[in-house]
């Protein structure tokens, strides 16, 4: 009888702990994927392979291992050049549970400062998780990973970088 009284709160708490642990694991995977894919930009290999927004997103999602199955539908990437490390662009707005951003890509040229950001919509049912995360309605949260770096010197192709954005 006593177990019946405490089992429901116990299993609810256990489920929330597991769900939060999964979110931390996915966020760590995002950080690693964005760092590894950002290295392609930093070293000039992305420019040599003619990366655009879709190809860069595909590369990031391919590095997410077991979480890549729905990465294309959940992730939004933004790669842009910046003027200074202390002058970062504003975060995109969230309206009615939807991130107001497109998948954009501009890897710059040798010596440019580049900011790489990814937002990832993660389904999450834990109802008490409201501190420190961006809730998107009652059933998901927004995870974010980013990196900033200065491009290394490489032999540019001679084509000026163009910002490409896809929905």
Residue 167: predicted pLDDT: 65
pLDDT tens for 120-133 read 988 877 655 554 55
Q: What's this model's pTM, rounded to 2 decimal places?
A: 0.84
Residue 127: predicted pLDDT: 58
Residue 23: predicted pLDDT: 84
How would DSSP label each residue in 28-68?
Answer: HHHHHHHHHHHHHHHTTHHHHTT--HHHHHHHHHHTTGGG-
**Residues of the chain below pLDDT 70:** 126-138, 160, 167
Domain count of the fold of the chain: 1
**CB-CB contact of 157 with 48 (8 Å):** yes
Domain encompassing residue 83? 2-166
């Amino acid at each position: 009888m006593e177990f019946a009284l405490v089992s429901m709160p116990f299993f609810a708490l256990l489920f929330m702990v597991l769900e939060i642990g999964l979110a931390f694991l996915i966020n760590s995977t995002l950080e690693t994927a964005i760092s590894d894919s950002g290295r392609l930009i930093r070293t000039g290999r992305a420019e040599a392979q003619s990366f655009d927004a879709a190809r860069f997103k595909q590369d990031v999602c391919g590095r997410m291992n077991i979480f890549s199955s729905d990465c294309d539908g959940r992730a939004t990437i933004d790669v842009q050049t910046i003027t200074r490390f202390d002058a970062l662009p504003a975060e995109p707005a969230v309206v009615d549970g939807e991130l107001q951003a497109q998948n954009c890509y501009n890897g710059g040229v040798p010596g440019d400062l580049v900011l790489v950001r990814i937002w990832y919509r993660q389904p999450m049912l834990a109802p008490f998780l409201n501190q420190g995360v961006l809730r998107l309605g009652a059933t998901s949260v927004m995870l974010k990973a980013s990196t900033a770096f200065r491009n290394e010197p490489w032999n540019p192709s001679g084509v000026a970088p163009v910002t490409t954005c896809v929905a």
